[in-house]
Structure 1
């Protein structure tokens, strides 16, 4: 392993519950469609906002309508983060991993389906600049296909100067793990803190190098 790429939401920061709540609120407000647990696994987490909105609200949404609805959802989500006493810190063990990677000068970055406005928020809220080069972070800009396409991880690997086969990717989402596989990432690790999705990940061979619950033993197990 020569480089490491982190997904953010549900991986570095355990906020899946807040995203799900924000999506459920928005979709209930603007659509009669129901969101199932399978939808949340396969059609929400890891997907870009434009894909989610057109899937659950209307395929006919204009780009302007998508942007307006996306802004509404993300503002609601960010407010919920700030209001939550349980969402103030990284996933357990991650801070120690980041310090280790920084000390060892191992190339690393973030590859997230989040829009730039959220990544800007995270860089401020969690002081991500202490470990990550903002210019090497990859987020959703609409300039490349979202997960499960491989583009986001190929771009991230290029930004840190490491071939995909020499990278580790840590992902929590079904679509993100598919994207890592499609990018031919060398080491693919799923994170599943509540043990909800392990059976699916293992059945479809989406986490060939293991499933973790947090980062508390990550250094000894993978680095």
Structure 2
């Protein structure tokens, strides 16, 4: 007799309840506990919109305004050092997306890019976007965190049943429908650390 059945049996005698009911409760409890303690994020999904505003108009004005978004390069480096893959899921065209990625100098840190008009993808927030990324990277949706600055990004995460959605909301005065919100992209990795969802840093 396994430990769970022995415990269930003892509770059954004490409570005077049918043994099968106690066993079912025990199985649900154990499963939930494992899910809560073993989750580890292995893939972060971003849209280029929260990396640089108005990416189709990259100029000196946008270069200045991008400073308010946070440290994109530093955040991406931290994610890579933690073994977390990075995906771009953009609502923009592939040309505009490539231009933004090149402008920010993050090409070598991105593992996969999906764009609005890619074949077989439906517009965000359809789950096909994250499903496709997961299929190509071998990461389960439960190990994915979606980071965005619009309600559409958060709905994409919910539709795809990802492990966590993080909304970027400067000043904290917006309701994006995210699981967690931060002021800038710079706070994403510290948030994951506080949640205990990054295990060990690579050196």
Scaled to the shorter chain, the TM-score interval is: 0.5 to 0.7
- Distance (Å, rounded) in 2 between the aligned partners of 1:113 and 1:167: 19
Q: Which among 109, 116, 123 is matched to residue 140 of structure 1?
A: 116
- Distance (Å, rounded) in 2 between the aligned partners of 1:158 and 1:171: 21
Q: Which among 137, 144, 148 is matched to residue 160 of structure 1?
A: 137
For 2:99, the equivalent position in structure 1 comes to: 121
Q: Which moved more, 1:165-174 or 1:141-150?
A: 141-150
CA separation of 1:90/1:115 partners in 2, compared to 1, >3 Å: closer, same or farther? farther
2:172·2:181 contact (CA, 8 Å) conserved in 1? no
Post-superposition shift, 1:91? Answer: 2.5
For 1:215, the equivalent position in structure 2 comes to: 185
In structure 1, runs of 5+ residues without a counterpart are 19-76
Post-superposition shift, 1:178? Answer: 0.9
For 1:97, the equivalent position in structure 2 comes to: 75
| Cα deviation code 1:123-147 (max 9, x no counterpart) | 32112213113xx211111532111
- Distance (Å, rounded) in 2 between the aligned partners of 1:2 and 1:103: 12
Post-superposition shift, 1:101? Answer: 1.8
How many residue pairs match? The answer is 151
Q: Which has the larger radius of gyration?
A: 2
Post-superposition shift, 1:159? Answer: 2.4
TM-score, with normalisation over the residues of structure 1? 0.61
Post-superposition shift, 1:90? Answer: 8.0
Post-superposition shift, 1:89? Answer: 5.3
In structure 2, runs of 5+ residues without a counterpart are 1-40, 194-203
Aligned-residue RMSD, C-alpha = 2.1
